[in-house]
Structures are given as C-alpha cells and as structure tokens.
Amino acid sequence: MCGIVGYTGARQASEVILDALEHLEYRGYDSSGIAIHEADGIHVEKARGRLQVLRERTDNGAKLPGNVGIGHTRWATHGEPSDRNAHPHASAGSRVVIVHNGIIENYLPLQEFLAAQGYTFHSQTDSEVVANLIDYHYHGDPVEAVRAALVQIKGSYALGVLFTDHPDLIVAARKNSPLVIGLGEGENYIASDIPAFLKYTRRIVRLRELDVAVVRANGLEIYDPFGNPVPYTEEHVEWDVSAAEKGGYEHFMLKEIYEQPRAIRDTISPRVVEGKIELGLQSLDEARIRSLKQIYITACGSSYHVGMVGRVFMERLLHIPVRVELASEFRYENPLVDADTLVLVISQSGETADTLAALREAKRLGAYTIGIVNVVGSAIATEADEVLYTWAGPEIAVATTKAYNTQLSVLYLMTMSLARMLGRMEDTTYAEYLQQLAQLPDLCEKLLQDTSHIQYLASLCFAKDDIFFIGRNLDYALALEGSLKLKEISYIHSESYAAGELKHGTISLIQPGSLVIALCTQKRLLERMISDIRTVKARGAMVIALAEENTPFIQDVADHVITLPAHADFVAPSLSVIPLQLFAYYVAALKGCDIDKPRNLAKSVTVE
C-alpha cells in the first residue's frame, strides 16, 4: 500500500519521479503527489486520482525543473482520498516535507502534543504529524531531527524527507515498511520497491529497520538508531521489472498470502491500546449495544464466509442472535430488521453492488450499520453509519486472501469489545484472548515458513476432476472458503459440505479415488470428524485432513495430514484458511491457470 520514491542527481527530478511512480502503480493508489527543491524553496503538487492528473498539473513535470525531490502514490487509510490528504505533507512553515508509507498508531496523542506547541494541521492523515514532529526536533541537523522524531513514533513507516535548508539531500528511514535505495552514477534513488528505479540502476542497498539514510547525488550515509554511521552492502538485482513488481513472487496471490502476518498485525495492533480494544466507533455506545436484539451480517463470496465464522464467535460471546445472509438474497427476504438491529456489512472492495444494495436496504429499514471494508472512501465505507477498516493494503489478485483474514481479525476485535461492554467477558479471558490475537501473526509466519508438504499434496491432486471439502461448525465455513478458493482459480469442480450432511445425500458422490479434504481444527468435534473420515474412506475416498499438530488418531485415519502449529481454538479459522489458500494456489499453478485473473471473474463486482 502506498508507494514512495525519491531522486537526487543531475536530471530533472520530477520526470524521474513521475516515471518511477508509474512503476509502483501496481501497489494500488487513489492519489499522488510530488515535492521538488526549487531555487525558492520546496514546491509541492498533489492530485486525487490517477497519476495522469498529476502529470497534467505539472505539465509532465516541466513546471518543476529542480534536481532533488520525492513522490508518493497514496492508498488512503486515515482520511478520504483527496488532494488535501495526498502526500507529500509539509510541516507548518514548510521547513520539512515528507512522504510516508505505513500507519502511525499514536498519531492522535502526537497531534495533540504538537498542537499544544502551536503546530497546525491541514489534512486528516496520520502522516502529517511526522512532518511537524521532525520540524519540532529540527535544529539544523536533519539526521538528528528524524532520529528524535522516530523515537516518539509508534507504528510502521517508510519515509522520504526533504529539508528546505538542505537542498542537496533526501533523508530516508523505515520500520515494518519496505524501502530500498538505488545507487546510480552521480545520482541516487529511494523507493518502496525496486521496479521504481530498475530502469535506471540495478545496484541497490536495502535499508535496515530503524536505520536512517542520507541520500545525496554523490553519496550515501547510513546511521543506526543511536546515530552511529554504519556500513552497508550493495546488491545487484537480476530480476526483470514484472517479477520485481510482485516482490519476487510469481503471482500477486502468493505475495498476498505471504502478506497475511503483516496485514493481520496492521489491523489488530493499532486498535489495542494499553491492553484495551479501541475501535473508535463514535456512535456505538453502551446504550445502543444494550438495546440490540439481533445482529445481521451480510456480504458476498469469501466475505460472506467470514461472516459465517463471525456468527459462531459472536453468538458464543455475546449471547445475541446473529444471522448471516448473502447480500444478493438479503433484500429479497423481507429481512426482519429494525432500529434494534445491528447490520454488519463486510466487503473488501467496498463497492460490491449486492452488498451495497443490502446496506441501503438495512438503512432504509432503520438498522444501525457498520461496514467492515478494505478500500478507504469506497461506497460502503462512506454510506455505512460507521466503518471499521481492514488494513490489508491493496489486494490485486482476484481471489481474496489477506483481506479475508483481516476481516476475521476485525470481527474478533469487535466481538470482544462488545462482549466487554455487555459485561459478558471476564477480565482474564479478555486478556488471554488479546494475547492470543497478538500471537496470531507469528503463528501465520510459522505456518508459511515451510509449504513443501502442501506443494507435494497439490502435485498428487491437481489432475482430479472433483474435490470435496467437509467440516463441522466453524470448519464448515472454512470448507466453503477452501472449496471456493480452489474452484475459482483452478477450475476444478469442488463441493463443500457440512460433514453431518454426508449421510443425507452427498455420500452417493463418493467413490473410489474421490478426494475429500476433511477439516478437523475443532477439538470438541474431533470424534465426529474421525467417524466422517472413516465413512468416506470406507467408500474408497482419499482423505487429506487438516488438524493441529499432535491431534490424536488423525494420522491413523487420514491418508495425509496438513498440520497447523499449536494455537488457541478461537484463532483456528485465521490459521487454517492459509493452507487451503496455498493448496488452491499450487493446484492452479500446476494446472497452468491464470491465477491472478481467473476467467469470468472480476475483483470488484459492481453489477447486481
């Protein structure tokens, strides 16, 4: 999400920067901007919309003839997409101009602190505080100012900083957000990703977390967080541009699967402040929660599957009836929705026509609505009474992966927060759940470390014509998602069944050689699932089971087992979806399918 670039050298910086930003377009953006050192100070141009708008405003860069500058493509997080919220942001007084990628978690207290020192703010972004904070610490030494500001910042950042007093340099820094430096002859670059400058140089330096770099046309200095100069290693890039845009992954889908730990962390951590969940929902107070008689969740496709998991979790913790409806069915059902109903609308794109129509119908019926949305400023985000954003970043592959998992994270947080307000969650359970949520990204990382077994299983299965997924309760929701992921990208016919339904008809489809993926992530249902596995095995099926490591008996009954690292029960859906995403991915890759753009499907379904 967001792209930052910087250039210093003999060429016209604006031309290089506009070109470099175009190579970062794949990251997704809704506005862009550029800042260039000119003879009379730093000039900033910004524009909502495509880069073409910025090109027109700057006459393809000709209006900004200087040689040192920074640029940005913004994917809105804090504040709607607009000229005002676009980067670069200047400090009050314009001594410091920055571009930022990431999320400043503590921007509100920092803003308060800076306002008390007389600083003013002009945007709704978290990033603007960085410009003012650096300015606050600036007493002539750019590195010291940036270092001092970073000590106060909580969150993630990749930064490019210009100082009016130092027209020959760019200061760069990063933490949990990518930033690379490109080394040319008499010119140097910074960027969020290598393809931005790959056309100009293949010599790169990877900036370490928390280090601060000073980039000049003829030199690079790097300092550690204590201000000591540190040596750096130069690398040579061998990739071509198209591979690099996917960060070295063959497909966006695989890249996005691997981004899940980061996406979950970004979604959860800014909302947990000193051991307490803070959702920032102004209108969801205790009185409203206590008046709720029911909750409806409505969504399409994978987002609907998230809703199915959410239902189980919410009913368990809140003791309020929860219904999950496909958005495409919702308004034809005459839903029993009124002012005492909370309607949760889940959508990655925020533009899905059926989901938007369901939201409008819910509002017409007087319900209180909350959108769980990934794309900031999208229709659902704007029209719902409140919105909870999932900080997954732009999702480019048609098949959703990281957005799915961040939607789940938001539902966990929201449920726990409501349970707490209703007095239905003990302090100790609340603290325990929060701890387990904090560990979730690490567990996902562990799971992603070795995927060789899943690749092997995909090689055994990619020639199958039919694949069945079975599971009970939460694992039934998971079965639906695993099956959808597989069929949409591999074109293999797949069915998902609540395992208890087998004996009511489905079992007639099972014959020698049928492949059944049995989801056994819930300990309390293990015995039942083992008996379901035996039932299909007795009809000749080959069974791949998915279960936590050391689950008893499972290795004896299934032909193959995909194991999950030990985890708390309630985070099982977030973890267990990952092997299913990988399985679908590897099967589709072996079949040579167009994974990121499967036939007949669109990322954003804006027709009903």
As a whole number of angstroms, the distance between CA 409 and CA 388 comes to: 11
By C-beta, is 349 or 494 nearer to ligand F6R?
A: 349
Which region, judged by CB under 6 A, interacts with ligand F6R, from 25-33, 63-71, 219-227, 343-351?
A: 343-351
Q: Give how far Cα 28 sits from Cα of 51, 75, 375, 393, 420, Å.
A: 11, 6, 10, 8, 36
**Cα 498 to the center of its chain, rounded Å:** 30
Sequential DSSP letters for 502-535: GGGTGGGG--TT-EEEEE---GGGHHHHHHHHHH
As a whole number of angstroms, the distance between CA 199 and CA 19 comes to: 10
In the annotation, is 603 catalytic? yes
Q: Between 506 and 545, how does the x/- string for binding to ligand F6R read (CB under 6 A)?
A: ----------------------------------------
376 is an interface residue for ligand F6R by CB under 6 A = no
297 is an interface residue for ligand F6R by CB under 6 A = no
4 is an interface residue for ligand F6R by CB under 6 A = no
Eight-class DSSP state of 500: G
Which region, judged by CB under 6 A, interacts with ligand F6R, from 86-94, 122-130, 348-356, 512-520?
A: 348-356
303 is an interface residue for ligand F6R by CB under 6 A = yes
By C-beta, is 145 or 589 nearer to ligand F6R?
A: 589
As a whole number of angstroms, the distance between CA 91 and CA 459 comes to: 56
At residue 515, what are phi and psi to the nearest 5 degrees? -100, 125
By C-beta, is 342 or 399 nearer to ligand F6R?
A: 399
301 is an interface residue for ligand F6R by CB under 6 A = yes
Which region, judged by CB under 6 A, interacts with ligand F6R, from 25-33, 269-277, 297-305, 432-440?
A: 297-305
Sequential DSSP letters for 9-55: SSS-HHHHHHHHHHTTGGG--SEEEEEEEETTEEEEEEEES-HHHHH
- What pairs with residue 369 in β-bridges? 343
Angle between helices 260-268 and 402-421 (to 10 degrees): 30
Least spacing, CB of residue 480 vs ligand F6R, in Å: 10
By C-beta, is 82 or 303 nearer to ligand F6R?
A: 303
Q: Between 54 and 73, how does the x/- string for binding to ligand F6R read (CB under 6 A)?
A: --------------------
| Under 8 Å between Cβ of 284 and 386 | yes
Question: Which residues lie below 8 Å from residue 331, measured CB to CB, with a gap of 6+?
Answer: 357, 358, 361
| Number of residues lying near ligand F6R (CB under 6 A) | 14
In the annotation, is 523 catalytic? no
348 is an interface residue for ligand F6R by CB under 6 A = yes
Least spacing, CB of residue 301 vs ligand F6R, in Å: 2
Question: Which residues lie below 8 Å from residue 496, measured CB to CB, with a gap of 6+?
Answer: 468, 469, 470, 471, 476, 479, 480, 482, 483, 484
By C-beta, is 71 or 482 nearer to ligand F6R?
A: 482
Q: Between 398 and 417, how does the x/- string for binding to ligand F6R read (CB under 6 A)?
A: -xx-----------------
Which region, judged by CB under 6 A, interacts with ligand F6R, from 70-78, 265-273, 290-298, 341-349?
A: 341-349
At residue 226, what are phi and psi to the nearest 5 degrees? -95, 0
As a whole number of angstroms, the distance between CA 496 and CA 476 comes to: 8
317 is an interface residue for ligand F6R by CB under 6 A = no
- β-pairing verdict for 466-471 and 493-498: parallel
**Among 77, 132, 355, 405, interactor with ligand F6R by CB under 6 A:** 355
Where are the strands (E) in 102-195, listed by range? 157-163, 166-175, 180-183, 188-191
460 is an interface residue for ligand F6R by CB under 6 A = no
Least spacing, CB of residue 354 vs ligand F6R, in Å: 8
**Among 188, 347, 390, 490, interactor with ligand F6R by CB under 6 A:** 347
Eight-class DSSP state of 570: G
302 is an interface residue for ligand F6R by CB under 6 A = yes
Q: Is 78 exposed, middle or buried (0-12, 13-18, 19+ CB in 10 A)?
A: middle
Which region, judged by CB under 6 A, interacts with ligand F6R, from 46-54, 296-304, 363-371, 410-418?
A: 296-304
267 is an interface residue for ligand F6R by CB under 6 A = no
Phi-psi region of 423 (alpha: psi -120 to 50; beta: other; left: phi over 0): left
Among residues 2, 300, 444, 461, the one annotated as catalytic is 2
Among residues 363, 446, 537, 603, the one annotated as catalytic is 603
**Among 31, 123, 298, 352, interactor with ligand F6R by CB under 6 A:** 352
Q: Give how far Cα 53 sits from Cα of 18, 26, 56, 573, Å.
A: 11, 17, 5, 43
Least spacing, CB of residue 258 vs ligand F6R, in Å: 17
Q: Give how far Cα 137 sits from Cα of 106, 145, 151, 214, 366, Å.
A: 17, 5, 11, 17, 50
Q: Give residues in contact with ligand F6R (CB under 6 A).
A: 300-303, 347-349, 352, 355, 399-400, 484, 488, 605
List, by residue number, the catalytic residues.
Answer: 2, 603
